[in-house]
Amino acid sequence: MSEVKLNQAQAEAVDYIYGPLLVLAGPGTGKTQLLSARVANILQQTDTDARNILCLTFTESGASNMRQRLRSLIGDAAYNVTISTYHSFGSDIIKNYAEHFQSIAVERSDDIRMERPIDELSQIQIVEKIVAKLPFDSLLLGARYYVKSLVDTISDLKQYMITPDDLRALANSNLTQIEAAQDIIDSAVNAKGGMSRKKAELFGQYAELRDGLSELSGSLVELAASELDQAYQQAEAANSSKPLTSWKNDWLHKDDQDDFCLTERLRSQKMLELANIYQDYQEALKQSASYDFDDMILRAIEGLKSNPELRYNLQERYQFILLDEFQDTNPSQFDLVKRIADHPVHEGRPNIMAVGDDDQAIFAFQGAHVGNMKDFFETFVDVKVINLTENYRSHADILHVAHNISEQIEDRLHRQFADISKVLEARAEGLPKTAQVGRHEFAASASEYAWVANQIDSLIKQGTRPDQIAVLAPKHKILEGMVPFLKQREVPITYDKRENILQTEIVSGLRLAAQLVQALINQDATLVNHYMPLVLSLPYWQIPARDICQVNWQYAKRKEVSSWPEIAAENPVLESAIMFYQVLSTYAVSAPLELTLDQLAGTSPVVIDGQEHFAPLKAYYFSSQERSLDALKYYESIAHLSVIRAKLREHQVSTDKLLNLQDFLDFFDMYEAAEASLTNTHPIAQAANSVQLMTVYSAKGLEFEHVFILQAHDDVWGSASQSNNKLALPPNLKQIRYSGSSDDERRRLFFVAITRAKQGLYITSHATKDNGKATSPLKYLAEADGVSSYLPASAQQIQTTEVSADQLAVDIETLWQAGQVHLPADFKSLLADRLKKYQMSPTHLNSFINLEYSGPEAFLVQTLLRFPQAPSASGEFGTAIHNTLEWYANQVAAKQSPSQQQVADHYQRELNRRYLSQADKQRALGKGQAALKKYLSARHDMFKKSAKAEVNFYAEGVHLGEAHLSGKIDRLEVDEANKTVRIADFKTGKPLKKWGTDIKSITYKQQLYMYKLLIEGSASWRGYRVESARLEFVEPAGNADGNILQALELAFDPKEEAQIKQLIQAVWQKIVNLDLPDISGYDQSATGSQKFIHDLLA
């Protein structure tokens, strides 16, 4: 474990353990090491257990980085500290204390139907149904054309913890205040024929308004009076009525009598109706036992408010709280934290530290509220403020530029505190004496991109590592233009590719096939004739175009008497494909969507005349040969299918019925109707060491030796982006909505971009847009006459580069390829991030070595690449049984005694959530209920014993050599006195009477041994010894009339355990190096698997 060297301010923050602490941490000031060092110091200086520390950050990657840094300081105890994102923490409260959230459907299994919020499309559907039922005279009837604006406004309200009742009360109060203000406005304005054109009289009218409004109470009139007083003072100081006119434009509205009134009544009247829609929306969520993304926080807050026991338990558990990236939190996230910190014993001074930098608050468009930093200071008593300004990243010249930008930010928190300066001090070591800072202007964007690509190529040739070079822009679209220029120079890049997967080749083809099958189901001959040739022309059928054209020609002549499929069936090449879809349509009539998609994708067969037939899609796109020829296309195609399947599963949560093929087609139609794209963003890494093309939002928290900032234009970095929400809000609600980026936000974004650089900063622009219009220089750089005055003195001259007409033509041609460039990529680099985070579970180990049913190639496709596939009927049955046993164990532990009928009912509810056909569900229902009745009767005494159910080791940090292990154990029976543990693992299927050499015995043994390693290697169970392990077979032996067998005990053998440890490490190395053995020489059997294991250990 390493030591941390801290400067004076960092050390002060680390040592200030008790009480509230606000740390202002500028870029490069060592924020991450501060957080980790503080946790280590708390553990060292107090008797606090690591489980009593809560660390919240904004992203999963931030949480992972914090844990790794902490592990380097305190070892495996880092895995006992709760380190989470704000939303995940809210979700975990709901899942881990489910008894307090009975209205939410919570599943704690790892299967694909795991608890999650409904997706945005489902939200839109719910609100659409509510709006469709509005009366004809509703003020929001027209909202059917902008439903998304209603959904977004409900989300805004939730983030500010405004309930339907709160909104209703505010709207009614507004209407009352508007009426109360009318007499004042009539006297000051309307009775005098409107606003005077004479300055003295005009000022008198506004003074009368100000004085009258200030006598009224209520948030609306108080805000109006406050802003009018401010405008009046500005008008007097400037001897100009412009500030007053501006106030009038914002606050006074003409009614239908052409009289002025305070604001537009209609806005508050619409809020009354929105409150009803909001309430109906919440009721719809409740009825479906689901929740949306914002509710992950709000439901947790509600639970803490209404359940003192839950609140006290969490307050008692989390004695120390650390908040990272605090400037990016929204009001509801801070409210959740305050409720956990609000233990009476603290007397307003909880042990809580918030770390943030208001100068880097760039996520307002996601709901972040930089004002939370000020609220933190005002919420708690005697908050200590520590300011970190020693920058260990950037050269002084780069900090000089950054300072000149940050000084333009008007709303800066430190100005509210005495004796605090945010001037960053250069403390970085090992940098060149002189930084490379430059401002470069080009005639056209193509020339700008070409120059940047040349500079990057030159830096790499001079010895700079590619991954220490970043190209930054505020928008992804700008970065796209960079790709063909770097490819042209063979510079490897890492780039977040964004695309609408609904328009990708593989998903479009899947939709076409689904449209054909649905037309066959509906017996719609017109559509069948339309879709059949389109589907058979898809590349994976590899049917010659001439065969399709020939049938089209014949059909054109004979369509009055024959259908397209009838004519095509005369061709043997086409006949089998046509038969495939015709038979598939008979399955798809009643099958769950997941199963039909598997058949369309070629993952599951269609049985025709007793023989299995597969659609060629999977074989065409996902063969190992295809992976070798075009790794990127292979990887992206799986990603596209995975995203569409994941979105459908999210959509499934919002409905009680299993989705079918028509729902799949409706899913596409809904996206098109909403004019929305299903965007997938995934990193393309051409090599492990590559140039980074990133938006500034993605680059936050990172650092690079050289940074290129593209298109330093006012309309790119400096112009206001406006909200497109079509529902106008009353003035006293406007704070809940992101109305568009302010000047301060845009300055902060540019500041963040600059402060990513260590020693090289290159700011580029071009003079003329592609449409021929001139660009505007970025006002934050204060440029004039070819000089950028905010840069260091030696770099203020704007460098202009001329290119020849021939070169410009070449560059423009290169730019035209943007968005269409096919990048060669190394397969291992594409999986680098996934492999870095990979944890091996017993299921993974068994999948890799089981040549009878899986093997290395199947492991790669199904586990690492997550090729989407419906779960098997037996797997769904097993999941429903496991979840029911977990529920039963928790009920017994809570001193409840569920009856046989209650168990049967719960099992049926679990089964209804599974992806099963109606026939499979009926079979599983009878079989499962009978098995549970027998099993729970036979194991009645076992469940009376104290035990822990579904113990998850994901965050335990268990390592065996280099292998990072994970897994979830069904049942742990713990003897606290003797520090021993007994493992029980539930199994469905045919019971084993004894251990053998079959593949089931091999994999079951490996699973139990790996469970033993997880327990004895984890931080939470340190000091405990695994005494025994057994398999509990839930189903009776033989048939339904058979008996429940005795558990199958495993006697741990040190020699066997050593061999499995060796096997785990050998398989781990194969996986992380993507060294997948060729298994063609092994039998696909238990014998072949045993030989494969033997060779892996050799």
Taking Cα atoms as reference points, which of 775, 746, 795 lies closest to residue 405? Answer: 746
* pLDDT at residue 107, rounded to an integer: 45
Same domain for 544 and 669?
yes
Pairing relationship of beta strands 252-254 and 260-262 according to DSSP bridges: antiparallel
Of the listed ranges 5-14, 20-29, 412-421, 1029-1038, the least confidently predicted one is 412-421
pLDDT of 640 > 80? The answer is yes
Q: What is the mean pLDDT of residues 255-269?
A: 89
Q: Does residue 497 sit in helix, strand or coil?
A: strand
859-872, pLDDT tens digit by residue? 998 888 888 888 88
278 and 301 housed in the same domain: no
- At residue 105, does pLDDT exceed 60? no
SS3 helix, strand, coil % of the chain, rounded to 5? Answer: 55, 15, 30
Q: Do 671 and 550 belong to one domain?
A: yes
The arithmetic mean of pLDDT across residues 711-715, rounded, is 91
What confidence category does residue 1005 fall into, taking pLDDT thresholds of 50, 70 and 90?
A: very high
Q: How high is the pLDDT of residue 772?
A: 84
80 versus 1031: the higher-pLDDT residue is: 1031
Whether residue 926 is found in the same domain as residue 1031: yes
Q: Which domain holds residue 56?
A: 8-114+293-388
Mean of pLDDT values over 977-999: 93
| Number of domains present in the structure of the chain | 5
Mean pLDDT, range 294-303, rounded to an integer: 86
Per-residue pLDDT tens over the stretch 887-940:
998 888 878 889 999 999 999 988 887 888 888 999 999 999 999 999 999 999
Which one, of 537, 533, 499, 833, lies nearest residue 633 by Cα? 499
Mark whether 885 and 1015 lie in a shared domain: yes
The span from the CA of 382 to the CA of 378, in Å, is 9
Considering the domain boundaries, does residue 551 fall inside one?
A: yes
Q: Is residue 411 part of a domain?
A: no
pLDDT per residue as tens digits for the range 418-463: 778 889 999 999 999 999 999 999 999 999 999 999 999 999 999 9
Neighbours of 478 (CB within 10 A): 19
pLDDT of residue 802: 87
Are 850 and 991 within one domain?
yes
* Percent of the chain with pLDDT strictly greater than 90: 59
870 falls within a domain: yes
- Using DSSP's 3-state secondary structure scheme, residue 970 falls into strand
- In the listed set 656, 682, 708, which residue is the last one of a domain according to the structure? 682
Residue 149 domain-assigned (yes or no) = yes
Task: Give the bridge partners for 973, in sequence order.
Answer: 982
Q: Are 1010 and 967 in contact (CB under 8 A)?
A: yes
Distances (CA, A) of 470 to 487, 757, 833: 15, 9, 18
Q: Half-sphere exposure of residue 966, counting CA atoms within 13 Å on the CB side?
A: 12
Under the banding of pLDDT at 50, 70 and 90, the label for residue 110 is very low
pLDDT at 653: 66
pLDDT class for 739, splitting at 50, 70, 90? low
pLDDT tens sequence across 537-573? 999 999 998 999 989 998 888 877 789 999 998 888 8
What are the angstrom distances between the C-alpha of 948 and each of 693, 883, 885, 945, 1008? Answer: 47, 14, 12, 10, 17
- Report if residue 827 sits inside a domain: no
What is the pTM (predicted TM-score) of this model? 0.81
Q: Are 985 and 923 in contact (CB under 8 A)?
A: no
Whether residues 531 and 576 share a domain: the answer is: yes
Whether residue 85 is found in the same domain as residue 70: yes
Structure tokens, 100: 């307090």
CATH code, 733: 3.40.50.300
Residue 750 predicted with pLDDT over 70? yes
- Report the chain's mean pLDDT, rounded to a whole number: 89
Return the half-sphere exposure (C-beta side, CA atoms, 13 A cut-off) of residue 529.
18
Going by C-alpha positions, the residue among 673, 913, 597, 914 that lies closest to residue 125 is 673
From 236, 253, 287, give the residue that closes a domain.
287
- Pair 309, 247 in one domain: no
In a domain, 426, yes or no: no
pLDDT tens figures, 43-73: 999 999 999 999 999 888 788 888 888 888 8
Do both 1036 and 1000 map to the same domain? yes
881: CATH: 3.90.320.10
Q: Which helix (H) or strand (E) holds 684?
A: strand 679-685
Residues ≥6 apart with Cβ < 8 Å to 809: none
Of the three residues 248, 272, 287, the one that is the final residue of a domain is 287
Instruction: Report pLDDT for 647.
Output: 84
CA–CA gap between residue 310 and residue 282 (Å, rounded): 23
Q: Identify whether residues 1075 and 979 lie together within a single domain.
A: yes
